[in-house]
Amino acid sequence: MEFEFKTAEDLLKLTKKYDHSISTIAKWYEAERSNKSEGATRTQMKMVRDVMYEAVKKGIKSNQHTEWTGSGGDAHKLFNSLKDLKNMMGNKVTVRAMAYALAVNEQNALMGKIVAFPTAGGAGVIPGVLFSCAEHFHAGKRRLIKGLFTAAAVGLIIAERASLSAAKAGCQAEIGAAVAMAAAGLTEMRSGTPQQCLDSAAIGLKSYLGLVCDPLGGLVEVPCIKRNAIGAMAAIGASDMVMAGIKSKVPFDEVVSAMNNIAKHMSSKFRETALGSLAITKTGNEIKRKLGLKVTEEI
Ligand code: SF4
């Protein structure tokens, strides 16, 4: 296929060959791969954006809590803090990005409709970052779609060369991947070069290497929901560093290889089994008992 890419290096070559952005190459590849027109591919991405937007809108108003961990209502609290930012250290963009990220993952925990982009557990980072920054730039829908296509290209490389599954690679493959994708998408929305988008992704992912999957009671609620909010801040930070002229010493492809290397050596206790880390703390075990799950050890 003409626009196929499996690595960041392939993708960079394509952007140079056709003199186009990552988002355009990603869109052309998706059209080619799915045998759809460019227009239909864009329409599909618009649908993704609309579902994300609905989750954000619903989540920031919700005061509903989940049954087992009591998660919920935090997006609403944080969004309300935007009315008076003088007590917050983050600015309007970062606090709003966190609120949006929480909103999506709270909706996920409440069985609402979300886009698993790249996964359900990490679904809040990308809409959190891209929607909040788009509001700041007064960016049109077209610019937001570009950010989403660039994020998708980065996710595809991670899926090809490592994994997007927490069962295989821990939380580095969920929140870490989402941070890399969001950082690259944001950099493209800021008119960064393809190399800068990939440097943003590399800096974002590097910061999440080795992150384990340790959900309380095996539910995608704690620590998952708040990890999305912090991930949104990390993605904005990675993009800011790159836009200030900072480069990633390690290229994105090598960072993905490092992630894969960690995944191969990661104990199954830290891969979605709820048998290690936070999942076996006193609090984690209380949730297990409530759920009627077997408690194996406590740290
Ligand atoms: S802790 Fe596990 S379930 Fe929760 S977001 Fe991370 S990878 Fe997903």
Instruction: Give 100's contacts (C-beta < 8 A, 6+ positions apart).
Output: 56, 59, 60, 75, 124, 127, 128, 131, 132, 232
Residue 23 lies in a domain: yes
Atom from ligand 1 closest to the CA of residue 170: 7
Residue 162 lies in a domain: yes
The count of structural domains within the chain is 1
Instruction: Give 11's contacts (C-beta < 8 A, 6+ positions apart).
Output: 5, 22, 25, 153, 157, 194, 198
Distance CA 272, CA 146 (A): 32
Residue 231 lies in a domain: yes
Q: What per-residue confidence (pLDDT) applies to 296?
A: 86
Q: How far is the CA of 266 from the centre of ligand 1 (A)?
A: 15
Establish whether residue 274 lines the binding site of ligand 1, counting it when its CB lies within 6 angstroms of any ligand atom.
Answer: no
Q: φ and ψ at 271, to 5 degrees?
A: -125, 75
Residue 240 lies in a domain: yes
pLDDT digits (tens, 9 = 90+) for 50-105: 999 999 999 999 999 999 999 999 999 999 999 999 989 999 999 999 999 999 99
Establish whether residue 74 lines the binding site of ligand 1, counting it when its CB lies within 6 angstroms of any ligand atom.
Answer: no
User: From atom 6 of ligand 1, which residue's Cα is the shortest distance away?
Assistant: 171
Q: Which residues of the chain have pLDDT under 70?
A: none
Establish whether residue 12 lines the binding site of ligand 1, counting it when its CB lies within 6 angstroms of any ligand atom.
Answer: no
Is 0.95 topped by the overall pTM? yes
Instruction: Give 233's contacts (C-beta < 8 A, 6+ positions apart).
Output: 90, 94, 97, 98
User: From atom 4 of ligand 1, which residue's Cα is the shortest distance away?
Assistant: 224
Establish whether residue 171 lines the binding site of ligand 1, counting it when its CB lies within 6 angstroms of any ligand atom.
Answer: yes
Q: How far is the CA of 212 from the centre of ligand 1 (A)?
A: 8
Residue 280 lies in a domain: no
Distance CA 70, CA 227 (A): 16
Distance CA 101, CA 95 (A): 10
Residue 218 lies in a domain: yes
Residue 235 is encoded by which pair of tokens? 């993605």
Residue 124 lies in a domain: yes
Residue 281 lies in a domain: no
Q: What per-residue confidence (pLDDT) applies to 166?
A: 98
User: From atom 3 of ligand 1, which residue's Cα is the shortest distance away?
Assistant: 220
Establish whether residue 221 lines the binding site of ligand 1, counting it when its CB lies within 6 angstroms of any ligand atom.
Answer: no
| Domain span holding position 190 | 8-274
Beta strands of the chain (E only): which ranges? none
